[in-house]
Amino acid sequence: MKDFYTKEQIKLAKKVNLIALLKSRGEELVKSGSEYVWLKGSDKVNVRGNLWYHHNEEVGGDTLDFVMKFYNMELTYAVAFLLEFGVRYLGYPEESLEIKRTLYIPKAHEGVRRVSSYLVNQCLLDSSIVYAFVNRKLIYESKKHHNVVFVGYDKDSNIRHIYMVGSTTDNQYKSSTQGSDLRYCFHWNGTSDALYLFESPLDLLSYITLQKDSYWKDHTYVASCSIKDRALLQALRDNPSINKIILCFNNYDTGKLAMQKIERKFKSLGYKIDFDIPICNNWNEDLIFKKERGWY
């Protein structure tokens, strides 16, 4: 797998703006002259553009080196993580994610104990909703690292997209795997005329949990794994009865601009468009916030 990505893709990953990446993940950054300082416990790491330096250890490098060291990612997963971030937030062309090799489908663990514990106990998702997706083979637990595996199928039930999320506090991996087709991201096909579009699988599941809607299975839900409309277009092709789209991207400027762009495009195609935006940054933060205060 080490030679899976081209030299050009690896160069793009190295050039990802590290400050933008850290801010997007809510990391603590302090402005210091022309640089920022990332606080890691008692350690301080100086950051400028796509470069960093750890004074205590006297080591440094680029953004790719950073996520491999501090987020504990192997090279292949680190490149995938950074390229996806570049496409979602930095205007990288979607072609930079294109994969030439066969889709990587991680082997399944015999059960989903760790994954269900993470989703229900840490993310506070409704267990009946989680197991509805598990029973449809849309969620499973990977054998090697016990990651949450979110599966996307085409209309012929072929696996076309895999999105993995680390299920432990020391594993912050979140990315599509090699060979994933972004037209077929994690989704649930319903029978009603409504489709709900999200950025991530966890947002999608958190939203359903918050609605307390016993008829949620009737609707179609799509996690775009980006702020693009590629998965939306495919879902509309596969579900021609849909005429209403509810845009549920996260609560930040880039996501709102993306929703406005999608609204203009699909209104011109005759679809009814509505919005539902979380109070916090994303839907899982909303769910946790409301449960902690007894509002849910």
135-145 pLDDT, tens per residue? Answer: 999 999 999 88
**Lowest mean pLDDT, pick from 39-43, 105-109, 199-203, 247-251:** 39-43
Residue 45 pLDDT greater than 90, yes or no: yes
Which pLDDT band, with edges at 50, 70 and 90, does 90 fall under? confident
Q: How many CA atoms lie within 13 A of 71 on its CB side?
A: 25
Instruction: Write phi, then psi, for 79 (nearest 5 degrees).
Output: -65, -45
Which pLDDT band, with edges at 50, 70 and 90, does 129 fall under? very high
SS (H, E, C) 166-214: CCCCCCCCEEECCCCCHHHCCEECCCCCEEEEECCHHHHHHHHHHHCCC
pLDDT in tens, 237-257: 999 999 999 999 999 998 999
pLDDT in tens, 262-291: 999 999 999 999 999 999 999 999 999 999
pLDDT at residue number 178: 79
Residue 6 pLDDT greater than 90, yes or no: no
Question: Model-level pTM greater than 0.85?
Answer: no
Residue 2 pLDDT greater than 50, yes or no: no
Which pLDDT band, with edges at 50, 70 and 90, does 1 fall under? very low
pLDDT in tens, 150-192: 999 999 999 999 999 988 766 667 888 878 898 999 999 999 9
pLDDT at residue number 3: 47
Residue 289, both tokens: 């916030």
pLDDT in tens, 92-119: 887 777 655 578 899 999 999 999 999 9
Locus of tokens 């076309």: 160
Dist CA 19 CA 28 (whole Å): 10
Tell me the DSSP string of the chain. -TTSS-HHHHHHHHHS-HHHHHHHTT--EEEETTEEEEEETTEEEEEETTEEEETTTTEEEEHHHHHHHHS---HHHHHHHHHHHHHHHS---GGGG---SPPP-PPBPS--HHHHHIIIIIS---HHHHHHHHHTTSEEEBTTT--EEEEEE-TTS-EEEEEEE--STT---EEEPTT--GGG-SEE--SSSEEEEESSHHHHHHHHHHHT-TTGGGSEEEE-SSSSSHHHHHHHHH-TT--EEEE---SSHHHHHHHHHHHHHHHTTT-EEEE---SSSSHHHHHHHHHHTT--
In the chain, the domains with their CATH numbers are: 7-97 (3.90.580.10), 113-292 (3.40.1360.10)
Task: Choose among 290, 176, 265, 281: nearest CA to 224.
Answer: 176
Dist CA 133 CA 285 (whole Å): 21
Locus of tokens 């020391």: 170
| N-terminal to C-terminal alpha carbon distance within the chain | 44
Dist CA 270 CA 162 (whole Å): 31
CB-CB contact of 43 with 90 (8 Å): no
Residue 110, both tokens: 């015999």
Dist CA 93 CA 103 (whole Å): 20
